[in-house]
Amino acid sequence: MASRTTASLVVLALLAAGRAAAQSPAPLRLSFADAVRRAAGTAPVVELAGLRTDEAQARVRQARAALLPSVTASAAWVNRTFNKNSLGINLSFPGAGLPTLIGPFNTYDSRLAVTQTLLDFSSVGRVRAAHAQATGAIAEGGAASEAAAGATALAYLQAARAAAVVGARQADSAIAAELVGLAQAQRAAGVSAVIDVTRARTQLVVAEGALVVARNQRDRAGIDLARALGLDPATPLQLTDTLTAALGAANTPANPDSAVALAVARRPDLAAEAARGDAARRAAAAISAERLPRIGLEADYGGNGPTVPSSIGTGQIAVSVSLPILDGFRREGRAAEQQAVVRESGVRTRDLQQQIAADVAGAFLDLSAAAAQQTIAAERLRLAQDELAQARERFKAGVAGNIEVIDAQASLLRARDTDIDARFAAAAARVNLARAVGLAQTLH
């Protein structure tokens, strides 16, 4: 009976485990290039930039409305009385005349009115300024895509680095477990002391603790990558790329001067600032154009009468010319404000050009240093592996205690971390160079 109950519990546990596995979503396989493309197209900051572009284009249509016809239909019924004396009407004659109080009487009026601007230089300037602002919004959208692609690329590298650290800690745990077995064998053979076994077990515990920390950091890096992509943080990700020498590459120039020239031509943030400056200049021109005459056409036609059936057609056509003379110098103040905005944009443009040159120069320095560090780290890792192998052989031969093995193991651990850090730094330098040049969306 007990065995049957146990078997039933095992079956239920297996069914529950299978159901849980079926409910858990499959991990999303994600390459580095896929992550960059996804971020550049669908990241939340990119979607928001697209909406801001739509807003700017809608403002162009609003500004253009001042130059297009305006048509209004209206209908009214009025019942009124009025005092003729208040109007200065005095048509009284002996024995005849109008009463002082006239009415009440009805008036019905239905009308179609059209207005059209014939000449308005200020409205034309505002339309041009709105077009420049829309151009700037488009450039800002490109800057948002570049920023999202670069940030996601770095987040992917962080996740790949965390995965590499987990692999290194697993290798450390395997070596520590092997050394525990070796120490126990040496102790059983009577060629080593009990403290050697204790030291080996201590190292195994330390390695297992480091593995727990590394796995936590890997999971946190996965959450950060999911957020950079605009995904649910609970989405499981499976990275298909590792920290290789080709990860984070882009078609960036090898010469710093060529890279700076390309960055000045491609960087969308610089284009956005240029568009903002152009919009400010056009807005200032539109304010100055308010001093010029404005010519407009107005026309209306409709039925008017005391009753609807008796209404007759009436209408008017008018051409108006207006010339602003003085508005309390408010216009001059607005123009001065826009000129200050233009100068401010010029300062930001110059500073951004210098920042671009600094970004490119710094990226090239980091790339050169990372390449040298990677070569040194690879050699250090090879030497640390040789040191551990030699220390293990000496311990097996009984000519040394496992202190040498533990020291060699610690040296290998540091060498592995240095190698991972060097490969990560090289990939990050490639990504930063692509971002500095304006090619983050082409990273692969």
Amino acid at 433: L
* Among 112-116, 176-180, 314-318, the least confident range: 176-180
> How would residue 6 be classed by pLDDT, with cut points 50, 70 and 90?
very low
400 close to 193: Cβ distance less than 8 angstroms: no
For the stretch 282-329, pLDDT in tens is 999 999 998 999 999 999 999 998 888 888 999 999 999 999 888 888
> How would residue 388 be classed by pLDDT, with cut points 50, 70 and 90?
confident
> How would residue 185 be classed by pLDDT, with cut points 50, 70 and 90?
confident
Pairing mode, strands 294-305 and 101-119: antiparallel
Alpha carbon of 394 to those of 387, 402, 405: distances in Å?
11, 9, 9
For the stretch 20-55, pLDDT in tens is 444 566 888 999 999 999 999 999 999 999 999 999
- The answer on pLDDT for 343 being more than 80 is yes
Nearest to 164 by CA among 205, 203, 207, 215: 215
Query: Phi and psi dihedrals of 70, rounded to 5?
Result: -120, 125
pTM: 0.82
For the stretch 229-274, pLDDT in tens is 999 998 899 999 999 988 988 989 999 999 999 999 999 999 999 9
Look up the CATH number of domain 27-65+124-289+331-442.
1.20.1600.10
> Residue 291: which residues within 8 A CB-CB, separation 6 or more?
324, 331
Helix-, strand-, coil-residue percentages of the chain, each rounded to 5: 70, 15, 15
Residue 9: its pLDDT value, please?
Answer: 47
> How would residue 96 be classed by pLDDT, with cut points 50, 70 and 90?
low
Show me where the domains of the chain are located: 27-65+124-289+331-442
Beta partners for residue 102, in sequence order: 82
Residue 21: its pLDDT value, please?
Answer: 43
> Residue 401: which residues within 8 A CB-CB, separation 6 or more?
192, 193, 196, 395
State how far the Cα of 243 lies from the Cα of 154, in Å rounded to an integer: 12
Helices (H), 25-120: 32-42, 44-64
* Among 19-33, 64-78, 256-270, 420-434, the least confident range: 19-33
State how far the Cα of 38 lies from the Cα of 322, in Å rounded to an integer: 55
